[in-house]
Amino acid sequence: MTRPSKALIDLAALRSNYLTARNLHGGRALAVVKANAYGHGAVPCAQALADIADGFAVAFAAEAFELREAGITKPILVLEGCFDPNELLVAHKANLWVVIHQESQLRALETAPIDAHSIRVWLKVDSGMHRAGFALEDVQTAYARLEACPSVASITLMTHFARADEPDSDATAKQINAFHEATASLPGDRSLSNSGGILAWPTARGSWARPGILLYGADPLPVKPEISTNGADSMPRGAAQLTQNADQPLNQAYQLKPVMSLVSEVFAIRTLEPGEALGYGGTFVATTPVRVGLVAIGYADGYPRVAPTGTPISVGGVLTRTIGRVSMDMLTVDLTDLPQASIGSPVECWGKQIDVNQVAQQAGTIAYELLCNVKRVPKVYQN
């Protein structure tokens, strides 16, 4: 038997989530496939979306070149823009759209030897995140300089939210207002929303959305306590939120489909006697007989080592918990109440049965990081 651990990637779910995101936002949507499509594989994901997506977004130019080499001809926006004037020339040759978020990029564009009206730029406005982008008071000048650049074919105004995933904070409303005020007199397309903005901020609609985590079926909004109590609950979170949080600023139901299922199998079983400690550090000590399943996946595959005893995991489609420390290549699960579980029983770490957000919460992180970190296991694509 070969090692049974895999990341199953459901491309139909990816396509469905893209359409959900675009329908919720309206207008057009760039599918964000940076960081190897959040760990799902940038080329296969972009190819699966190529006929329906309005375009793609990546973090830096090399990520876009990989997509071009794989035959992706749709627009690709480079979210961090170019790192130097030379890269700008190569990006232009690859017909990429580039973000301009600071003075050095603006200067590179002004002096670049490229044809008239041949490059589309997105001018990034810092509306309050204070990470990248032109200050509100500098936007008019930056825009005017771009307009004066012969090479510029069009200018889209964009901003990015620091707290879109916090529906109860007024920070996003402030950013939206600041962005609109600073750009009111300027023509052109607008792009405000990442996934959190699409879901929670109907006032942040622009011409273009930039959904990332939504595409992969992980809800960026806070896990609701009434849903999080049952790790195996397969109820779509969006539908649940709509009925249970009718006061949230959501105007439509949404149903996200998890794209990645990180799966393996039980490959050994033992029973711990009371007093016996399990695994590295002996952090779990049996007080009663405990039936332990050994699962062929560990932190070298991207399962978080910090996930404590009690992290939800499913065995044979039934919810149970991890016990003891996660090792590099293995982890251990509690089979005491799963007498039907045996060697070869399928295990899902996260995916269709276990919400990746719940594992992330146990590990003190976010779904984004867990998904991006998946490695070593083969990816198996399903249409």
Catalytic residues: 34, 280
Q: Identify which of residues 192 and 294 has a Cβ nearer to ligand PLP in the complex.
A: 192
* Binding map of ligand PLP across residues 204-243, x = CB under 6 A, - = no contact: ------xxxxx-----x-----------------------
* Binding map of ligand PLP across residues 113-152, x = CB under 6 A, - = no contact: ----------------------------------------
Question: In angstroms, what is the minimal distance from the CB of 220 to ligand PLP?
Answer: 6
**Residue type for 31, please?**
A
Which of 235, 241, 195 has its CA nearest to residue 218?
Answer: 195
Coil/strand/helix, residue 144: helix
User: 280 to each of 284, 285, 305, 307, how far by Cα in Å?
Assistant: 9, 11, 11, 14
* Binding map of ligand PLP across residues 33-52, x = CB under 6 A, - = no contact: -x------------------
- Do the Cβ atoms of 251 and 23 come closer than 8 Å? no
The stretch near ligand PLP (CB under 6 A) out of 100-108, 188-196, 226-234, 350-358 is: 188-196
Question: In angstroms, what is the minimal distance from the CB of 133 to ligand PLP?
Answer: 9
Distance CA 99, CA 79 (A): 6
Q: Identify which of residues 34 and 352 has a Cβ nearer to ligand PLP in the complex.
A: 34
Give the total of residues touching ligand PLP (CB under 6 A).
13
Question: In angstroms, what is the minimal distance from the CB of 1 to ligand PLP?
Answer: 37
* Binding map of ligand PLP across residues 58-97, x = CB under 6 A, - = no contact: ---------------------x------------------
Q: Identify which of residues 7 and 214 has a Cβ nearer to ligand PLP in the complex.
A: 214
Residue 32 binds ligand PLP, judged by CB under 6 A: yes
User: What DSSP designation does 281 have?
Assistant: G
Which segments of the chain are extended strands (E)? 6-10, 28-32, 55-58, 76-78, 97-100, 119-126, 134-135, 152-159, 190-191, 208-209, 260-272, 277-278, 284-285, 290-295, 312-315, 318-321, 331-334, 346-350, 379-382
Question: In angstroms, what is the minimal distance from the CB of 12 to ligand PLP?
Answer: 20
Q: For 206, how many CA atoms within 13 A lie in the half-sphere containing its CB?
A: 27
State in Å, rounded, how far the first CA of the chain is from the last one. Answer: 26
Question: In angstroms, what is the minimal distance from the CB of 57 to ligand PLP?
Answer: 7
> Binding ligand PLP by CB under 6 A: which of 194, 241, 314, 336?
194
- Do the Cβ atoms of 46 and 73 come closer than 8 Å? no
Residue 243: partners with Cβ closer than 8 Å, 6 or more residues away: none
Distance CA 21, CA 210 (A): 9
> Binding ligand PLP by CB under 6 A: which of 183, 195, 241, 322?
195
Residue 302 binds ligand PLP, judged by CB under 6 A: no
Coil/strand/helix, residue 238: helix
Q: For binding to ligand PLP (CB under 6 A), which residues are involved?
A: 32, 34, 79, 160, 194-196, 210-214, 220
